[in-house]
Amino acid sequence: MYILTIDVEDWYHLINNRYFSNPKNWYDNESRLMKNLEIITSLLEKYNQKASFFIVGWIAEKYPAIIKMLTQLDFEIGSHSYLHQTTRLLNKKAFFADTEKSIKTIEDISGKKINSYRMPAFSIDSTNKWVFDVLSDLGIKYDSSLTVINRRNKNIHPYKIKTQDGNFIKELPVSTFKYLGMNFNSGSGYFRILPLKKIIKSLEKKDYTLLYFHPRDFDSKTPISFKVSLLQNLKNQMGLKHSACKFETVLNNFKFTDIQKASLKIDWENTKDLLF
């Protein structure tokens, strides 16, 4: 099973940076989102592939044409928060307000119910697991916010997460690329820097794969900024030259689906509960 997910945010939606994590500063930066999103959607159309797009609510409000375009192309749309803040810095009330605003904004534009969610920066651990209770309260059925970095689990597969209201959130975590005996998040920066042959080999071995990308992962002209460190600029620039070409090869070799369609094929009755 191969699932493809895209986090729809601009190159300046950087977390853990004093300047860029302040939404007031976002207006001062050139948007490169639409151009980059078109690279992705045209490749998906070319290879007849499906994907889930997790949208930052602030983006939906500023560029409603993006939501309309993705809806017209029949891609699944989910929420990627409203203000793209790390969930670790939000209390329950603030997380509820941010998530509710994001869902409402995207639903009002798309005319479709939002069922799927991804937190910014994989920011969940045992200290804020109440986020799943909030997601369930807001009608979210599928989450894709976990990965090996915060679970330390080598065998990534779907989980059920029990919530306070007695429901379950169906968790479809980001999978991993195995390289040099280590596990790396499958997508984004690691996709850009790892050799294509190794990526293909790693994908061939998996029975569950969920890749994630940002539009900026395919932008060879991502701006260099003096507001972030030299190391962060290097990380942001690495592998951009060939990433779209690598992505096309992967699309040409594997058949991808979105979160909701993949969920129909998962045997949730016999899927383990995730215990924090």
Contacting positions for Zn ion (CB under 5 A): 7, 9, 120
Q: Which is nearer to Zn ion, 9 or 219 (CB)?
A: 9
Q: Which is nearer to Zn ion, 50 or 216 (CB)?
A: 216
Minimum distance from residue 187 beta carbon to Zn ion (Å): 12
Q: Phi/psi at 40 (nearest 5 deg)?
A: -70, -50
Residue placing its CB nearer to Zn ion in the complex, 96 or 212:
212
SS3 label, residue 139: coil
164: tokens are 């306070």
Q: How far is the CB of 272 from Zn ion (least distance, A)?
A: 27
As measured in angstroms, the least distance from the Cβ of 119 to Zn ion is 8
Q: Find all residues with CB under 8 Å of 140, minimum gap 6, and list them.
A: 79, 99, 103, 114, 115, 116, 117, 169
| Least gap, CB of 52 to Zn ion (angstroms) | 14
Rg (CA), the chain: 18
* Residue 1 vs 55, nearer CB to Zn ion: 55
User: Closest Cα to residue 84, out of 107, 123, 56?
Assistant: 56
| Spatial distance between the Cα atoms of 41 and 125, rounded to a whole number of angstroms | 32
